[in-house]
C-alpha cells in the first residue's frame, strides 16, 4: 500500500497525537532547552494526563497550565498549587500570560489557528515544537527534534532557508536524515524497540525525500542506503514511498 493509505489506516488518536505521551526524560530535556524557571508560566497545549505539568512545577519551579479537551484525562492530573488545568479546546484558550508553550500538533487547521494566536503573544514568549517548525518561521534555537520559536517570530525568506535552519546544514544527505530521524525516535520514546527501528527508517526516508523534492538534498540521485530502506519498507512492511519522489 502507499504510505498515505498506511497512515490513514492508523487509529485517529495516534495520528492526532492524542494517545502519544512524551517520556519524562524527554520533557526534562525540553524544559532545560527552553530554560524553564521559577519566573515562567508554562502551558502544555494538549497536556493529556499531565506528567509535563508535574515536572514543570515540582522540578523547575514554574507555574504550569495544562489544556486538554478530554475531561477524563484532566481528572487524572495530580493536584498541585502551582498547576492549573482547563478542559477546553486550545483554539479557544486564553494564553496571554504564557512565557513558555509546548505545542505538538499535526493538524494543519489547528496549526494555522494557533499560529495566529501565538503571533499576538507578548514579546519573548517561547513556543516549543517537536520535529516541525511553526509555519514559515525560522526557529531561534534548535536541539533537534526540539525547536524554540520566540515572539515576535523570525519569518523565513523561503522553505530552503527554513529547512536549513532546522537541520543546521547546507544540504541533507543520508547521514543527516538518519541522525535526525533517530533523535526524533528517541525523543518521543516507545516501549517497543522494534517499532522504534521502524519509525527511524520511515522518518529517514521521509526526511530525505522531502529534501530532494525541495531541492536541498546533497545529491539528485537516491543514496544507496535510502534506496535500501525504500525497498525494506516495500518488501517487508508493504509500504510504498517511492511515488513521493518528484
The pLDDT tens digits of the residues spanning 137-157 come to 999 999 999 999 999 999 999
Handedness of CA 212, 140, 105, 56 (dihedral sign): positive
Residues shown for the chain: 246
| pLDDT for 244 | 86
| pLDDT for 197 | 82
Domain boundaries, the chain: 11-157, 169-244
Name the nearest CA neighbour of 108 among 206, 15, 45, 177.
15
| pLDDT for 19 | 53
- Domain 11-157 part of CATH 3.40.50.150: yes
- pTM to 2 decimal places: 0.89
Residues ≥6 apart with Cβ < 8 Å to 58: 80
Region of 35 on the Ramachandran plot (φ > 0 left; ψ -120 to 50 alpha; else beta): left
Task: Collect the ranges in the chain with pLDDT lower than 70.
Answer: 6-20, 189-195
| pLDDT for 13 | 47
| pLDDT for 136 | 95
| pLDDT for 17 | 47
Residues 52-62 pLDDT 10s: 999 999 999 99
| pLDDT for 154 | 95
The answer to whether the beta carbons of residues 83 and 66 sit under 8 Å apart is: yes
Amino acid at each position: 500500500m502507499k504510505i498515505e493509505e498506511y497512515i490513514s489506516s492508523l487509529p485517529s488518536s495516534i495520528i492526532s497525537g492524542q494517545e502519544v505521551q512524551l517520556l519524562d526524560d524527554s520533557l526534562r530535556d525540553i524544559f532545560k532547552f527552553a530554560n524553564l524557571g521559577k519566573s515562567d508560566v508554562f502551558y502544555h497545549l494538549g497536556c493529556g494526563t499531565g506528567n509535563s505539568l508535574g515536572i514543570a512545577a515540582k522540578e523547575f519551579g514554574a507555574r504550569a497550565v495544562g489544556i486538554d479537551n478530554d475531561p477524563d484525562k484532566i481528572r487524572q492530573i495530580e493536584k498541585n498549587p502551582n498547576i492549573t488545568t482547563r478542559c477546553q479546546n486550545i483554539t479557544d484558550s486564553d494564553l496571554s500570560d504564557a512565557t513558555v508553550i509546548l505545542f505538538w500538533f499535526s493538524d494543519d487547521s489547528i496549526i494555522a489557528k494557533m499560529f495566529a494566536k501565538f503571533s499576538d503573544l507578548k514579546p519573548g514568549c517561547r513556543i516549543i515544537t517537536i520535529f516541525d517548525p511553526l509555519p514559515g518561521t525560522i526557529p531561534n534555537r534548535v536541539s533537534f527534534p526540539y525547536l524554540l520559536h520566540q515572539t515576535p517570530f523570525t519569518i523565513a525568506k523561503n522553505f530552503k532557508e527554513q529547512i536549513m535552519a532546522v537541520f543546521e546544514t547546507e544540504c541533507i544527505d543520508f547521514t543527516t536524515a538518519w541522525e535526525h530521524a533517530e533523535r526524533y525516535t528517541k525523543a518521543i520514546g516507545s516501549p517497543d524497540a522494534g517499532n522504534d527501528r521502524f519509525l527511524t527508517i520511515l522518518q529517514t526516508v521521509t526526511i530525505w525525500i522531502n529534501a530532494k523534492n525541495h531541492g536541498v538534498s546533497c545529491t539528485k540521485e537516491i543514496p544507496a542506503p535510502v534506496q535500501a530502506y525504500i525497498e525494506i519498507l516495500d518488501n517487508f512492511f508493504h509500504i510504498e514511498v517511492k511515488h513521493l519522489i518528484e
